[in-house]
Structure 1
Amino acid sequence: MDTSPLFQAVDGFAVLSAEGMAVQQALDRWILDRAGEVGAEQMRFPYLLPLQDLARFDYFHNFPHLGLCACTVSERRWTAYSDNDPAATADRIPAADLDDAAFALPPAACYNVYLHARGQDLGQERVVTTVAQCFRNEAHYKGLERLRGFTMREIVRIGLPAGITTHLGHFRQRILGLGQVLGLDLKIEVATDPFFDRSSDRALAAGLFPTKEEFVFDGTLAIASLNYHRNFFGERCGITLNGTVASTGCVAFGLERWLHALDRRFEGDARRIIQAIGDAS
């Protein structure tokens, strides 16, 4: 078990203490303030995603190993379970006892933003911030660094390429500045965006202009990222701005990963962490 005054974590499950919650809320307030600076509207979306919507984004083509589905016990097996059939009381429910899955647990916060705007001509650029409990089937789990379920706050811009690159550049400086005030040695690393087929023109363009940059703590842990999707989601969701297919970009914060980094930096002292976050405002 990974323990701290701020949290306990074991086997991909985490419990935050009152102090840990206070730190996470202070960090989220800092992000919300920064989102307000760029005119972001706050939104909250459903806790499940229809699989047909994730399929629209080729999610299971790109991440077949990460997806977690939500499904029900089949009606034909209800009696066995309600009658306490020994075969129905194990720690796992056999796949044969389940109906086909129609929904997935959200793997990221931003997908619902694009789905909510699908089929619309927005007329002008839009900035949205949302938070979601996200879930991924990882190969292994470790403390707050890699969890079965975690909290993701995102700031998403739907617009034209120039506006997207300005949005991401603004937050690149904001995050680096936050890291400096907090004493976190963050390094920016370019990551591969799997939404682009490596042989496509889009992928070639991505090689000239990075589509995903990660802010890495302690050499290995990405705690935030900048993501430029070009017009991928605009095309897939039919989102336009005055007839032009929209481009999208998002800034993502893994809140539990930030908590891990801050716990390491300040040795679990919530008061000092919250004060430092306040100084960064």
Structure 2
Amino acid sequence: MTETDAAPDLSQALVILDPDRTDLLKELDRTFAAWGISAGAREILPPPLYPVSQLEKFDVYTNFPQLALVAAPLDVNSGGGKPADGRFAPSDLQEPRLGLPHATCYGAYLYYENSRVSDQTLVTLVNRCFRNEEYYGGLHRLLSFQMREIVALGSYEHTQQVIAAFAQRITAFAEELNIGLEKVAASDPFFGNDSARALMAKISPVKFEFQAAGGLAISSVNTHRNFFGERCDIRLASVDAYAFTSCVAFGLERWLSVLLDLHGGNARRALESVRAAARQVS
């Protein structure tokens, strides 16, 4: 089998949601965004892709190379430029200098790059994320999907208070929806295996996933300590030290998938359940 033969089936990698499922996904996003805003977050709007040089600051291509996707413009002077068998040849492309992010929170750190922040900074943002997977299937495993995040920057105490509060809210919301979730310690190798942070991560987990039936992670809470503060030179306004960060993530299509399964594929009924649950968990 050649490398091309082993490539994942892209027909299963991307979806176009119908109107009812779109309504449900947007309601989920409004709900999670409102949680952040009610906690004092301001919303920012990131681009769907970044220069490779920016993502490289976060060791994306060292720690997550298997997930990485990059983009390049066509080289119109190469004599090619027309796809064959659904693909372009490498010689048809210019240098791939654009990276497609696999997480939303990168936009928050790049937004605050080279700045000072208060001890209790909070932002929320949603973005398209992209992951190169070994296989794709259904709404729970897509090449392109949407992730809403609530990102805390500032003191270590602030970052921990934020993820503790939202972990409780995620659990309460899932209970109202009759979704059984398990909070599971997980790995997220932002830190090199030989670093002091990696050792700390083994001693004290820095990522917890909220998993539905079958081990499907639909949300997570993540502690980064001052990793992103150092990489983006984000410092505290109150003292000359790098900011700590944490984030709360919601995989919107995964929440959608779980709710559709729970309601027999009836998106309208699932939508009403989300609205009712949101009224109870504000």
Letter in 1 for 2:26: Q
Give the distance between the partners of 1:92 and 1:204, measured in 2 at CA.
Answer: 43
What aligned pairs does 1:259-274 form with structure 2 within 5 A after superposition? 259-274=256-271
Per-residue deviation, residues 107-137 of structure 1 (Å, max 9, x unmatched): 1111011011111112443111111011111
The partner residue of 2:230 within 228, 235, 238 is: 235
SS of structure 1 residue aligned to 2:77: helix
Aligned to 1:182: 177
Letter in 1 for 2:228: F
SS of structure 1 residue aligned to 2:66: coil
Give the distance between the partners of 2:267 and 2:164, measured in 1 at CA.
Answer: 30
Give the distance between the partners of 2:176 and 2:270, measured in 1 at CA.
Answer: 11
Give the distance between the partners of 2:251 and 2:178, measured in 1 at CA.
Answer: 18
The partner residue of 1:280 within 238, 254, 277 is: 277
Aligned to 1:6: none
Contact 1:109–1:130 (CA<8 Å) still a contact in 2? yes
Q: Is 2:15 the counterpart of 1:18? A: no
Tell me how far 1:26 sits from its aligned partner.
1.2
Aligned to 1:72: 73
For structure 2, which runs of at least 5 residues remain unmatched after alignment? 1-9
Q: Is 2:25 the counterpart of 1:30? A: no
Letter in 1 for 2:170: I
Per-residue deviation, residues 76-122 of structure 1 (Å, max 9, x unmatched): 22x544xx7xxx54421111221111111121111011011111112
Per-residue deviation, residues 175-212 of structure 1 (Å, max 9, x unmatched): 00111011111001111120123333222222333210
Aligned to 1:199: 194
Contact 2:153–2:243 (CA<8 Å) still a contact in 1? yes
Letter in 1 for 2:233: G
Tell me how far 1:10 sits from its aligned partner.
4.7
SS of structure 2 residue aligned to 1:15: coil
Give the distance between the partners of 1:46 and 1:194, measured in 2 at CA.
Answer: 24
What aligned pairs does 1:151-170 form with structure 2 within 5 A after superposition? 151-170=146-165
SS of structure 1 residue aligned to 2:182: strand
Per the alignment, do residues 89 and 38 of structure 1 end up closer, same or farther by CA in structure 2, a change over 3 Å counting? Answer: same
SS of structure 1 residue aligned to 2:40: coil
How many residues are aligned here?
267
SS of structure 2 residue aligned to 1:133: strand
SS of structure 1 residue aligned to 2:88: coil
Letter in 2 for 1:221: L
Aligned to 1:250: 247
Contact 2:119–2:158 (CA<8 Å) still a contact in 1? no
For structure 1, which runs of at least 5 residues remain unmatched after alignment? 1-8
Letter in 2 for 1:95: P
Q: Is 2:131 the counterpart of 1:136? A: yes
Q: Is 2:92 the counterpart of 1:97? A: yes
Give the distance between the partners of 2:131 and 2:197, measured in 1 at CA.
Answer: 26
TM-score by length of 2: 0.90
Tell me how far 1:280 sits from its aligned partner.
1.8
**In percent, how many aligned pairs have the same letter?**
39
Give the distance between the partners of 1:181 and 1:249, measured in 2 at CA.
Answer: 26
SS of structure 1 residue aligned to 2:214: coil
Letter in 1 for 2:60: Y
Aligned to 1:52: 53
SS of structure 2 residue aligned to 1:276: helix
Cα root mean square deviation, aligned: 1.6
Give the distance between the partners of 1:199 and 1:66, measured in 2 at CA.
Answer: 21
Aligned to 1:127: 122
Give the distance between the partners of 2:85 and 2:34, measured in 1 at CA.
Answer: 47
SS of structure 1 residue aligned to 2:67: coil
Letter in 2 for 1:47: P
